[in-house]
Amino acid sequence: MRWTYFIVLQFIFILVIAGIVYKHKDKAVIIKTPPTDLAQWYKPENKRQVWLHNMFKLRREMQAVQFYAETKDKEHLRKWALALNEHYLKIGEMVSSWNKKLDISTLSSLQANVDNQDYTGVLAAVKTLQKSCDSCHSDYQAITALTYRAPDFSTLEIEPLVPFNSHMEKLSKQVNQIKIASEDGMSDLAISSLVDLKKDMSKLGQVCSDCHKKDKVSYPSEQMNNTLLSLENSLKTGTLKEQGMDLGTLAVQACARCHGTHRLAFGTKVLLSKDSSLTDLLKH
């Protein structure tokens, strides 16, 4: 009798847990995070993006193996299959915990088919091997790129002791001050805020070259300078509508475009690297 109580109680307990998890499934996402061993194959721990380059080789080798199997070119097929073998195995050498994700038996049968000049067999093996590529990618590709390759703004300073983030808030205040003053007919204040904004945009522009070394990014760009000029004129003599249009254009050119690249990627990177504590998880 006691045992049945116990089992029924356990059953109810499991049901309640399952219910709670199900109820919250739309409020939290579970993402698999890549092994930290990967860091050594990326900048700054490594001089080169070794992991990524191994991947580019694999894609090229898969294509070449397929091509030479289709054209039944024994010599070239052998060369590329050997390279594919090496770089596929390198995945497990670089990150040992990913060894178990590799489809070694398909890799061996691919090699055997190459040796036996069984071209149909080679093509079938390539297709199967591709599934092992796809399965790892669907879990880890995007998060790895974000974790190790999205530019990091967390330690950037505009000038000593002025973190990037504080400078952003300042720019945002200036943009809004222009808007408020324009709406309320305080054109002197609007213009002096615009002067401040221009100065602080130039300051921001000086940090682009920290990372953009070869591809010279000029900020403010010529296009932005034209908009700044037009905004200055409309603040002096234009209508409220013209002022609003110029300010809107400036916000897109000078803020939103960069946010589309950098803030989006950096924000996601930060979100993903946030350690969620057990209490956080339980709260969800």
* 273 binding ligand HEC? (CB under 6 A): no
Which amino acid, one-letter code, is at 160?
A: P
* 151 binding ligand HEC? (CB under 6 A): yes
* 111 binding ligand HEC? (CB under 6 A): no
Which residues, other chains included, contact 73 with Cβ-Cβ below 8 Å and sequence gap of 6+?
none
From 24-32, 73-81, 109-117, 145-153, give the range in contact with ligand HEC by CB under 6 A. Answer: 145-153
* 149 binding ligand HEC? (CB under 6 A): yes
**Distance between CA atoms of 76 and 43, rounded to whole angstroms?**
34
Count of positions (residues) in the chain:
284
Which of 66, 258, 268, 272 touches ligand HEC by CB under 6 A? 258
* 217 binding ligand HEC? (CB under 6 A): yes
Considering the complex, what minimum distance in angstroms separates the CB of residue 73 from ligand HEC? 20
Which of 36, 40, 172, 273 touches ligand HEC by CB under 6 A? 172
* 207 binding ligand HEC? (CB under 6 A): yes
Which residues, other chains included, contact 111 with Cβ-Cβ below 8 Å and sequence gap of 6+?
81, 85
**Distance between CA atoms of 112 and 122, rounded to whole angstroms?**
9
Q: Nearest 5 degrees, angle CA 155-CA 217-CA 147? A: 40
Tokens 């061996």 correspond to what residue? 108
* 68 binding ligand HEC? (CB under 6 A): no
Contact of 103 with 128, CB cutoff 8 Å: yes
* 169 binding ligand HEC? (CB under 6 A): yes
Which amino acid, one-letter code, is at 239?
A: T
* 36 binding ligand HEC? (CB under 6 A): no
Which amino acid, one-letter code, is at 275?
A: D
Which residues, other chains included, contact 175 with Cβ-Cβ below 8 Å and sequence gap of 6+?
197, 247, 250, 251, 255
Q: Backbone phi, then psi, for 261, in 5-degree steps?
A: -90, -60
From 3-11, 18-26, 75-83, 168-176, give the range in contact with ligand HEC by CB under 6 A. Answer: 168-176
* 11 binding ligand HEC? (CB under 6 A): no
Give the nearer residue to ligand HEC in terms of CB position, either 23 or 216. 216
Contact of 272 with 148, CB cutoff 8 Å: no
From 19-27, 71-79, 133-141, 227-235, give the range in contact with ligand HEC by CB under 6 A. Answer: 133-141
* 212 binding ligand HEC? (CB under 6 A): yes
Give the nearer residue to ligand HEC in terms of CB position, either 121 or 205. 205
* 83 binding ligand HEC? (CB under 6 A): no
From 6-14, 66-74, 254-262, 274-282, give the range in contact with ligand HEC by CB under 6 A. Answer: 254-262
Contact of 52 with 147, CB cutoff 8 Å: no
Distances (CA, A) of 59 to 35, 62, 97, 152, 258: 22, 5, 22, 28, 31
- Contact residues for ligand HEC, defined by CB under 6 A: 34, 51-52, 55-56, 58-59, 62, 88, 91, 98, 101, 129, 132-133, 136-137, 140-141, 144-145, 148-149, 151-153, 156, 164-165, 168-169, 171-172, 175, 201, 204-205, 207-208, 210-212, 215, 217, 219, 254-255, 257-259, 261-263, 265-266
